[in-house]
């Protein structure tokens, strides 16, 4: 897919579609006014008759256009100038992309929105527009004979901004969009395609294509590393566990290292605490944290950020056989702590426990982990908000600021000491579950036992990582959530550490 920026007039460009993002009750920009005149005032008439209002998320399609070189136009409402945010702009552009990506080999021209009184910069408009066109045109229908959505063959973003700066922003957006789609694809592929070994193979492929350094630990190496907690989860499956590691060194060797840790349960049956069918049918998504780490590392490498980052992806399948770990088992984690298992469906935290400990011992200066960890977080925050938990207020704020700068919604929950009381065990150092109350917090308090004093943020993405159905602005299935936030953290980390 080719994506480029141009200063040429909209009427001079040739494509299958022209996408115009227009604000509600706002004057037309100079470039749109010029286009409107070429179209004989068509746009003005539509606005005056309120056949197009510019309200956020609305679209109007115009076909059979003969006055310019693009025969089809889609008008996309941006909302009022004051209300335009990164998130709302992304929704609008994805809505437009989904509306016009039903045919293969489609080329598009997108007019870079120029809105007076908007708080967004030209570069932000360019980056979000580029990424949204790439993400919005890719569906979840990987296995359908007749696909419903096709990536655009050519994307041209046209505007009046500085050509070099806008092209850089477009390029960043392209890399982000493709990296989000990588994470989405990993989630959307079924568990027969994506299992620990095949996920690790894909990690190696990404490393080769981006120049990252890959390291894969097999089950024997995991035993040598004393990852008893993670290996217990894997022992009920015919698929062996893997720890996939991607290393990026964009700064001096003496610079601090940011660690990104992802839960990679490639399928979660619940183990002996077996899920019902309705709870199991989407559990190919339980490696959404590892997929986000893979997507972020792909982007960080291509963007050549001046930072040292290592991505850790703990990969297991939680299945049922005669070797399955059992309720009442006591596991010994890598850092020596013992864990009484009272629910085999609370397996993600057992995987992360060992991987977090490993990242600490590898010298991580700061850690972010991501996991589709608890239904309790979805109950607390809904399906579109990521829960934030931390042992360090300053580091937590860095991550939250990066999320806001990326247009991704997060909310911090408390880590009060009393929640750890729920994890006290009579037979081991701690239990793997507490009561049903505050379950997202007790899960985070469990993980806190394995990060030592390292500044750490846990992101519970159980809600936003997987969409149960299509929406006008979004495909169902994997969303690639938090890839943008991780990349933004890395960009800021490299400039401040």
Residues serving a catalytic function are: 275, 349
Nearest to 155 by CA among 297, 16, 328, 356: 16
């Amino acid at each position: 897919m080719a994506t480029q920026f141009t200063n040429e007039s909209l009427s001079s460009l040739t494509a299958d579609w022209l996408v115009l993002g227009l604000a509600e009750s706002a004057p037309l920009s100079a470039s749109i006014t010029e286009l409107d005149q070429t179209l004989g005032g068509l746009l003005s008439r539509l606005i005056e008759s309120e056949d197009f209002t510019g309200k956020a998320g609305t679209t109007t399609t115009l076909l059979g256009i003969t006055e310019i070189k693009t025969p089809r136009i889609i008008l996309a409402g941006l909302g009022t100038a004051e209300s335009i945010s990164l998130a709302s702009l992304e929704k609008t552009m994805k809505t437009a992309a989904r509306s016009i990506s039903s045919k293969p080999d489609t080329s598009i021209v997108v007019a870079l929105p120029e809105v007076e009184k908007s708080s967004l910069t030209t570069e932000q408009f360019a980056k979000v527009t580029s990424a949204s066109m790439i993400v919005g045109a890719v569906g979840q229908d990987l296995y359908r004979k007749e696909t419903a959505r096709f990536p655009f063959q050519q994307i041209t973003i046209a505007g009046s901004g500085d050509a070099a700066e806008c092209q850089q922003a477009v390029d960043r957006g392209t890399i982000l969009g493709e990296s989000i789609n990588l994470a989405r694809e990993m989630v959307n592929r079924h568990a027969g395609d994506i299992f620990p070994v095949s996920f690790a193979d894909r990690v190696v492929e990404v490393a080769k294509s981006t120049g990252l350094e890959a390291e894969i630990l097999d089950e024997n190496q995991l035993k040598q590393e004393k990852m008893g907690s993670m290996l217990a989860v894997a022992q009920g499956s015919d698929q062996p566990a893997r720890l996939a590691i991607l290393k990026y060194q964009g700064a001096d060797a003496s610079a601090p290292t940011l660690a990104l840790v992802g839960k990679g349960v490639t399928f979660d049956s619940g183990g002996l605490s077996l899920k019902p069918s309705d709870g199991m049918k989407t559990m190919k998504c339980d490696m959404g944290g590892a997929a986000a780490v893979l997507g972020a590392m792909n982007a960080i490498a291509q963007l050549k950020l001046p930072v040292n980052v290592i991505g850790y992806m703990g990969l297991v399948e939680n299945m049922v056989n005669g070797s399955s770990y059992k309720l009442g088992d006591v596991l010994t984690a890598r850092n020596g702590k013992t864990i009484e298992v009272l629910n085999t469906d609370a397996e993600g935290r057992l995987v992360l426990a060992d991987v977090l400990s490993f990242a600490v011992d590898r010298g991580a200066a700061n850690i972010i982990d991501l996991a589709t960890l608890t239904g309790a977080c979805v109950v607390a925050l809904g399906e579109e908000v990521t829960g934030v938990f931390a042992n360090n207020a300053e580091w937590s704020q860095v991550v939250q600021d990066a999320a806001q700068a990326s247009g991704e919604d997060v909310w911090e929950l408390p880590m009060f000491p009393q929640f750890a009381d729920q994890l006290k065990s009579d037979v081991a150092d701690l239990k793997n579950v507490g009561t049903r109350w505050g379950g997202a917090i007790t899960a985070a308090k469990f993980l806190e036992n394995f990060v030592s004093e390292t500044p750490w943020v846990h992101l519970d993405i159980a809600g936003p990582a997987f969409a149960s159905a299509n929406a006008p602005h979004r495909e169902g299935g994997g969303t690639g959530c938090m890839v943008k936030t991780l990349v933004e953290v890395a960009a800021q980390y490299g400039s401040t550490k």
